[in-house]
C-alpha cells in the first residue's frame, strides 16, 4: 500500500470509518466550544490535510507534557457507558510527523541533530515548533545546553524559521517552576526568549491537558489558524475562559458552607468543598473540570486534591503555599 498522503487516507489504511471521523470531529468541536455544525467542517478539512511536520524542543522541564502527550486517548463516549470511541486522538498524533523529539526519537547524538537540521532545511516555513520547558537566559544560557548549543540559541534559531509555535505547559509559557524566585537560571518562557516567534499559541498547565493540545492542532489543521486567544496571554479562550469554581462538582457544598477542614476528616470523605484546604478554583480559569486527565478519567478536585492554579501566571510564586486557604 502506498504511503498515505492525507489524514483521510491514513484512517482508511487503519480501517477507521468516516462515521468515526465525523464523531471525533464533533467531539473536537465541542472541546473547542464551537457549534455542533462545525464538526462536519472539521471532518472534511481533516480528511484532506497532509502530514504536518513538528519539531518538539525540550529545555528546562520534567517531561510532564511529553508524558501527557504519550497518554493521549479519546474520551469515554457519554452515550454508551463503558465504551469509547476509536482512539482517533492517538491516531492523529501518530499521523503527525514528529521529526525531532529528544525523549521519543530513536536516534541520538549526531543522528538526532541531523534530523533537526534536515527538517529545518527541507520544511522551512512549514513546520510547527512545540516548546516544552523554560529557557534559561542567565550566564549566556549555559544552564541548559544540547549538542553544544544553549537552549536559548536553539530556540532563537529553530522557532523563527517555522510556520507556527506552541509554548506547551507553564514552563514554556512563562518560565514555570524554574522561574520561581529567586530564578537563578534566568528562566523565561518562549515569548520572552523569542519575541519574534511566529504565530505563537500558549497552552499553560503543569502538565498541560493533552485534549487542549489535540483540539488546538485539529483547529489549525482545519482552519490554518489557531483558536481565538487572548492577545495578552496567548492562551486560547476555549480552554482558559471559565472559572473552575463556577463548574466545580463540589460547589453545592460551598453554597451549603460544608468544607473540608483537615485531610481525612468526615468532610473529605464526603467530598465537601476544598476551599479551606487551599483550593484556588475561584481564582483559576481552565476547562480541566470538563476535559479531565488520563483519557477523561479524573481531575485533581475530583480525586480529592485542591486546585493549585497551575494554569495561572507565575503560579509557583503567586499561589504558594498551595494548601493554605487564601480567602478567594
Q: Which three cell numbers stand for residue 208?
A: 498541560
Residues of the chain with CATH 4.10.480.10: 242-318
Q: Helix (H) and strand (E) counts for the chain?
A: 16, 9
pLDDT of the residue at 2:
67
pLDDT of the residue at 18:
86
* Cβ 193 vs Cβ 135: under 8 Å: yes
pLDDT in tens, the chain (328 residues): 567 788 988 888 888 888 889 988 998 999 899 998 899 999 999 999 998 999 999 999 999 999 988 877 555 444 444 444 446 777 788 888 899 999 988 888 889 999 999 999 999 999 999 999 999 999 999 999 999 999 999 999 999 999 999 999 999 999 999 999 999 999 999 999 999 999 999 999 999 999 899 999 999 999 999 999 999 999 999 999 999 999 999 999 999 999 999 999 999 999 999 999 999 999 999 999 998 888 788 999 999 999 999 999 999 999 989 988 875 4
HSE of 265, CA atoms in CB hemisphere, 13 A: 12
- What CATH number should be reported for the domain whose range is 7-239? 3.40.50.700
* Cβ 23 vs Cβ 85: under 8 Å: yes
pLDDT of the residue at 141:
96
Entry pTM: 0.92
| Spatial CA neighbour of 190 closest among 142, 130, 250 | 130
CATH architecture of 242-318: Irregular (4.10)
Q: CB under 8 Å to 215, separation ≥6 — which residues? A: 28, 31, 32, 227, 238, 239
pLDDT of the residue at 78:
43
Sign, CA dihedral 257-258-259-262, equals positive
Residues of the chain with CATH 3.40.50.700: 7-239
73 burial level (CB within 10 Å; 0-12, 13-18, 19+): middle
Amino acid at each position: 500500500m502506498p504511503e498515505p498522503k492525507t489524514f483521510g487516507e491514513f484512517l482508511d489504511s487503519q480501517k477507521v470509518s468516516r462515521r468515526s471521523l465525523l464523531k471525533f470531529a464533533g467531539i473536537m468541536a465541542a472541546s473547542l466550544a464551537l457549534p455542533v455544525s462545525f464538526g462536519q467542517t472539521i471532518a472534511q478539512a481533516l480528511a484532506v490535510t497532509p502530514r504536518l511536520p513538528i519539531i518538539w524542543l525540550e529545555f528546562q522541564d520534567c517531561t510532564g507534557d511529553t508524558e501527557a502527550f504519550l497518554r493521549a486517548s479519546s474520551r469515554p463516549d457519554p452515550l454508551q457507558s463503558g465504551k469509547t470511541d476509536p482512539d482517533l486522538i492517538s491516531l492523529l498524533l501518530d499521523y503527525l510527523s514528529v521529526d525531532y523529539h529528544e525523549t521519543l526519537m530513536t536516534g541520538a547524538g549526531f543522528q538526532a541533530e541531523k534530523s533537526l537540521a534536515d527538517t529545518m532545511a527541507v520544511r522551512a516555513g512549514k513546520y510547527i515548533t512545540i516548546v516544552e520547558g523554560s529557557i534559561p537566559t542567565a550566564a549566556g544560557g549555559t544552564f541548559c545546553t544540547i549538542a553544544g548549543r544553549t537552549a536559548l540559541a536553539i530556540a532563537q534559531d529553530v522557532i523563527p524559521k517555522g510556520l507556527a509555535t506552541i509554548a506547551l505547559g507553564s514552563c514554556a509559557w512563562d518560565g514555570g517552576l524554574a522561574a520561581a524566585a529567586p530564578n537563578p537560571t534566568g528562566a523565561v518562557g518562549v515569548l520572552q526568549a523569542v519575541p519574534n516567534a511566529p504565530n505563537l499559541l500558549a497552552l499553560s498547565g503543569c502538565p498541560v491537558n493533552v485534549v487542549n493540545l489535540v483540539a488546538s492542532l485539529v483547529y489549525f489543521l482545519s482552519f490554518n489558524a489557531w483558536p481565538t486567544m487572548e492577545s495578552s496571554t496567548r492562551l486560547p479562550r476555549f480552554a482558559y475562559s471559565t472559572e473552575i469554581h463556577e463548574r466545580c462538582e463540589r460547589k453545592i457544598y460551598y453554597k451549603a458552607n460544608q468544607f473540608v477542614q483537615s485531610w481525612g476528616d468526615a468532610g473529605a470523605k464526603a467530598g465537601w468543598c476544598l476551599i479551606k484546604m487551599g483550593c484556588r478554583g475561584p481564582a483559576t480559569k481552565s476547562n480541566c473540570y470538563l476535559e479531565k486527565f488520563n483519557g477523561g478519567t479524573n481531575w485533581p478536585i475530583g480525586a480529592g486534591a485542591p486546585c493549585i492554579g497551575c494554569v495561572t501566571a507565575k503560579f509557583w510564586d503567586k499561589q504558594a503555599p498551595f494548601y493554605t486557604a487564601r480567602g478567594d
